[in-house]
Amino acid sequence: MDWRAQAPADWPAGIAAGIALALPLLVGTATGYPGAGAALTLPALLVVMPLPTEADLGERVRRLGARTAAITLAGLYTFLVGGSVWALVPAIAVASAAGALLPRVGNTAGLAMVLVGITGPVEGLGIPALPQLAGSLWGAVLLLPRSGPKTRLPLPYRKPDRTRQDWLHAARLALLLGVTSAIMAALHRLSGEAHWLLTGILLSLRPTPEATQTKARQRIIGNTLGGIAAALVLLTHPGPWAVTAVVAAAGTLAYALRPANYLYWCLAFPLLLLLLTDFGRPTPWYAAAVRAGLVLAGALISIAASRHLWPPGHPPEPRPEHP
């Protein structure tokens, strides 16, 4: 696997992302409400998933707006169903399939439904989904004006046409995540650590076996090393201030180095998710190992599904890579 940088780092995007993730945590911790800070940081993390380097300003606006809408809808749906685990099962399947067919939303739709749904309904000032909307807008506003790498001029983004392979991929995602989440709900594990299995599937499964295998291999390496790093952090029993500092550093590195090599992103992003989901609550070090193991299992399930569940019968068509 090639660890070398393949393009320049995007430090303006990295710094903007680091500020977007750290500031709500800082304010929440300083005011005695670390959970509220985390509730704003999670949607910010989801909305600032890497943007295509070829996207111009208008396309960045449309993508960030679509992601904000998806995250806010996830918050609203979670509120309306009262945090019901069984109500999340079809929603996770539908949101993931929709993201596969809507490139401007992508994995953000499924991730939002999983992570926001599992953390439960959070109200801000008595208004449902306000934390999701505010956190998304906060992240989007900071990321939008980033200058990006200067090695080439940005080209207008062309929306790819949907192919039969895209529809099969969406159906595969919906079936796999729907069945897996239903099994976890029946075992009373969906609201615990088991939702990390869904995250592993969602982040690894791609339209072709080749793309899935490449993505899963990067995820396996990244989540293994990221899980080790998170476990080492948790072994020190860090307080919210220390975790905030780690999140700021990891967020800056993840988003800055994403254009250089996707593998760098895979190393830093798991650390962000592992630390943010339980921000402000005591977490044993082995929880990071359990979560990383579940994501790894999800990656292996994705490889098997891509090869045996409606595999493509012809060479795949070229398509842009989604983060």
* Of 261 and 64, more confident: 64
In a domain? residue 154: no
8-35 residue pLDDT tens: 888 888 888 898 899 999 999 999 888 8
C-alpha–C-alpha distance, residues 189 and 195, integer Å: 8
What integer pLDDT is reported at residue 315 of this predicted model?
46
C-alpha–C-alpha distance, residues 290 and 295, integer Å: 9
3-class DSSP state of 33: coil
The yes-or-no verdict on residue 125 having pLDDT over 80 is: no
C-alpha–C-alpha distance, residues 302 and 312, integer Å: 15
Q: Tell me how far apart the 2 most distant CA atoms of the chain are, in Å.
A: 57
In a domain? residue 158: no
pLDDT over 90, % of the chain: 38
Structure tokens at 293: 């193991």
pTM for the whole thing?
0.87
The yes-or-no verdict on residue 146 having pLDDT over 70 is: no
Structural contact between residues 307 and 203, judged by C-beta atoms closer than 8 angstroms? no
Beta-bridge partner residues of 128: 123
| Cα 173 versus chain centre, distance | 15
Structural contact between residues 23 and 48, judged by C-beta atoms closer than 8 angstroms? no
In a domain? residue 155: no
C-alpha–C-alpha distance, residues 97 and 102, integer Å: 9
Structural contact between residues 116 and 42, judged by C-beta atoms closer than 8 angstroms? yes
If you average pLDDT over each of 160-164, 210-214, 258-262, 291-295, which comes out highest?
A: 210-214
What integer pLDDT is reported at residue 148 of this predicted model?
46
In a domain? residue 106: yes
3-class DSSP state of 242: helix
C-alpha–C-alpha distance, residues 238 and 25, integer Å: 14
In a domain? residue 36: yes
* Of 93 and 6, more confident: 93
What integer pLDDT is reported at residue 107 of this predicted model?
92
In a domain? residue 323: no
273 pLDDT tier (thresholds 50, 70, 90): confident
3-class DSSP state of 123: strand
In a domain? residue 220: yes
| Cα 184 versus chain centre, distance | 20
319 pLDDT tier (thresholds 50, 70, 90): low
Neighbour count for residue 98 (Cβ, 10 Å): 17
Domain count, the chain: 1
3-class DSSP state of 129: coil
Write the CA distances from 49 to 14, 162, 241, 259, 309, integer angstroms.
11, 22, 24, 12, 28
Which domain range does residue 206 map to? 11-147+164-308
In a domain? residue 271: yes
